[in-house]
Amino acid sequence: MGIEKALAERKGREFCGISRETIASSNSRRNRRRQRKKPPVQMLFETCKVVFASAGTGFVPPPQDIDKLRSVLDGIRPEDVGLRPDMLYFRTSAAQRVPRIQYLHIYECEKFSMGIFCLPPSGVIPLHNHPGMTVFSKLLFGTMHIKSYDWVVDMPPESPNIINPSESQTREMRLAKVKVDADFTAPCNPSILYPEDGGNMHCFTAVTACAVLDVLGPPYSDTEGRHCTYYHNFPFSNFSVDGLSIPEEEKSAYEWLQEREELEDLEVNGKMYNGPKIVES
């Protein structure tokens, strides 16, 4: 009987051990399933909270954080944010003088913002800047033409890169270099621009109906000097500047940019974002 009792107690301990391991394993699997079911836009929000925790004017995330956020963005699909190409956002009518763009606000705080621009065919977001900001853009669907610029800062000291074209024009022009001038069709890699390079100023033109998810870190803020400025662009060869020489074969890569105030070619309406909601913890 003593042997049988000892065996029974040992088997009981083994069973309890196996049960605890089984329960722990089951709980782990359930936790993993819950993590896998987390909406991609929630994952994007939580990643942005970490990546932009120290964001301020001029902030650039470290390379490993850039890769992390780019990877999360790359995995987001239109259905993850409740969008389809056949929705009213992406239609236009003959009565509209300018194709109307819709902006779906997802989230904004002082560190970063998340939102989606919905462009019908031929919709244009004019050339504008992102002062002191790092911007991630993900084309969710459609084909979009992107043209982007950086200011020219590496010319010799005797070469002027700011000009006043005439006495009748009070706004000066500044020399910029074209970084991107091409069509992009989804699916494609997210684009990233930085405070000083990577195409900080850009223009979007919808070739087809398209949607682009934007993450800005930090967001625009007039009080902190991050004001959105729009520009006209002019070919380099339109103006002859003494002391400024660029090889003929490279001139097409340079343009003059001039600040503008009137935006008669832009109509953006804010709309309710109806995709999965952000849960703040």
pLDDT of residue 1: 46
Stretch (H or E) spanning 150 = strand 143-151
Cβ partners under 8 Å of residue 54, min gap 6: none
54: domain CATH number? 2.60.120.10
Q: How far from the centroid of its chain's Cα atoms is residue 164's Cα? A: 33
pLDDT of residue 3: 45
Residue 11 falls within a domain, yes or no? no
Taking alpha carbons only, the member of 125, 86, 115, 94 closest to residue 217 is: 115
Residue 9 falls within a domain, yes or no? no
pLDDT of residue 174: 93
Residue 72 falls within a domain, yes or no? yes
Long-range contacts formed by 79-83: CB under 8 A, 24+ apart: 80/39, 80/40, 80/41, 80/275, 80/276, 81/41, 81/106, 81/116, 81/140, 81/213, 81/273, 81/275, 81/276, 82/273, 82/274, 82/275, 82/276, 83/116, 83/118, 83/140, 83/141, 83/211, 83/275
DSSP for residue 260: E
| Domain count of the fold of the chain | 1
Residue 18 falls within a domain, yes or no? no
pLDDT tens series, the chain, 281 aa: 444 444 445 545 554 454 555 445 555 555 554 445 789 999 999 999 999 999 999 999 999 999 999 999 999 999 999 999 999 899 887 667 788 899 999 999 999 999 999 999 999 999 999 999 999 999 999 999 999 999 998 877 667 778 877 655 668 999 999 999 999 999 999 999 999 999 999 999 999 999 999 999 999 999 999 999 999 999 998 887 877 878 888 889 999 999 998 777 777 889 889 999 999 97
Residue 9 burial (C-beta neighbours within 10 Å; 0-12, 13-18, 19+): exposed
CB-facing half-sphere around the CA of 224: CA atoms within 13 A: 15
pLDDT of residue 261: 80
pLDDT of residue 65: 98
Residue 281 falls within a domain, yes or no? no
Residue 26 falls within a domain, yes or no? no
Task: Give the tokens for residue 225.
Answer: 């000097």
Domain boundaries, position 46:
40-272
pLDDT of residue 239: 83
Query: 0.85 cut: is pTM over it?
Result: no
Residue 31 falls within a domain, yes or no? no
Q: Which residue has the tokens 């390379």?
A: 63
HEC per residue, 171-214: CCEEEEEEEEEEEEECCCCCEEECCCCCCCEEEEEECCCEEEEE
Residue 190 falls within a domain, yes or no? yes
Cβ partners under 8 Å of residue 107, min gap 6: 45, 113, 114, 278
